[in-house]
Structure 1
Amino acid sequence: MMPMPHMLPDNALHRHYRDEGGYADCYHVKVSTVVTLNEFVQAFYTSRLFKFERLILRLLIAKPSTDHQARLLAHGEIENFSAWTVETRSEGQLLMRDYKGMTLSWFMVTEDQGSKLFFGTAIVRAKGNGSRIPRLFSATLWFHKLYSRALLWSAVRNLPTT
């Protein structure tokens, strides 16, 4: 049940950022139960690990959030959550853009004898920098990959049991 890297699906909402010269990744995990996108997004943003990130965002950049807001976001009742705004929502997918417009978080759920849960990130190509992503992100890519898998694992552990 450990999240693993996965090829970017053709229908991934953040794929075009990679196609435009940015960065996009994809991690997935298969679970034995059927999980909705709403349940996945809520579990992600209320997971123990992400709550630590929420604390940092509240303290460092004054972008607070609550579990209640995470539930409202997951159910499509609000468009803004902490440092993110919904860019696109479709059947089974959600794409969130950060307040600076540089990074995006992507969620997708598919059914497959239970559910496959996908999480990914897109980094917008730096303006005036050819096709390169920002240097700070490039230098910390190893940490980003580890953290993305940990976030997905933490969300799975936070899913409601049936």
Structure 2
Amino acid sequence: MPEGALLNAYVGRDGAYTDCFETAYAGQVDLPAFITAFYTTWLFRLERAVLSLALRKKIHDSDVVALAQGRSEAFAIWTVEARGSAEILLCDNAGTTRSYLAVAAQEDGTTRLIFGSAVVGRNTGQLPLLVRLATPLHRLYSIGLLRLAARKVELAATSA
């Protein structure tokens, strides 16, 4: 977890699960481009399809772009809990999960693309069993999303 990251508020919290994954991109990427790439990957589109059914409302790429550009404080089931120029922390409507995206420019011209999550238990001091059992799958999903987003950023840069 990057020092000073918005997601750090949940690290070590009693009954909370946090994770953070990163990959390097060989170029400069700003946060809006990363957010857009992340939430428009084919893998996240599957999650968006499920959410669209549950919400009975289509989730459009324009919703992602509005979030990325700071024109919206909500996206699907998430609202912006905090935002900085290089990071964003989203909270789900139930208040139990957080999604964190960040970019960090490096001296060598690369950019660290960062994705993290937090799941906060409800006053029990422990996460529900189902959440604990799903953690390995969540980790794989998170790594897949991050890799696909990095690839999408790369493709966007080469086609520009």
Among 11, 27, 30, the alignment partner of 2:4 is: 11
Distance 1:151 1:45 in 2: 9
CA distance 1:126–1:18, change in 2 (3 Å): farther
Higher helix fraction: Structure 1 or Structure 2? 2
Q: CA deviation at 1:62?
A: 2.9
Matched, 1:54 2:48: yes
Mark the runs of 5 or more structure 2 residues left unpaired by the alignment: none
Offset, 1:63: 5.0
| Other-structure match for 2:99 | 105
Q: Are 1:30 and 2:20 an aligned pair?
A: no
Letter of the 2:90 counterpart: M
After the TM superposition, which segments of 4 or more aligned residues of structure 1 sit over 6 Å from their partners?
Answer: none
The amino acid of 1:126's aligned partner reads R
Tell whether 2:141 aligns with 1:147.
yes
Pick which of 94-103 and 56-65 moved more: 56-65
Separation in structure 2 between the aligned mates of residue 136 and residue 56 of structure 1, nearest angstrom: 19
* C-alpha contact 1:17 1:122 (8 A) present in aligned 2: yes
Q: Deviations over 1:42-87 (max 9, x none)?
A: 1111111111110010113435311011011001000110111000
**Alignment correspondent of 1:122:** 118
Percent sequence identity over aligned pairs: 36
Summarize deviations over 1:103-143 as a string: whole Å, max 9, x none. 0100110011210000000111321x12x222211011110
Gaps of 5+ in 1: 1-7
Over 3 Å counting, the alpha-carbon distance change for 1:63 and 1:101 in structure 2 is: farther
How far apart, in 2, do the equivalents of 1:19 and 1:48 lie? 32
CA RMSD of aligned residues (A): 1.2
Deviations 1:10-52 (CA, angstroms, capped at 9, x unpaired): 2121112123221111000001010000100011111111111
Q: What secondary structure sits across from 1:55 in the alignment?
A: helix
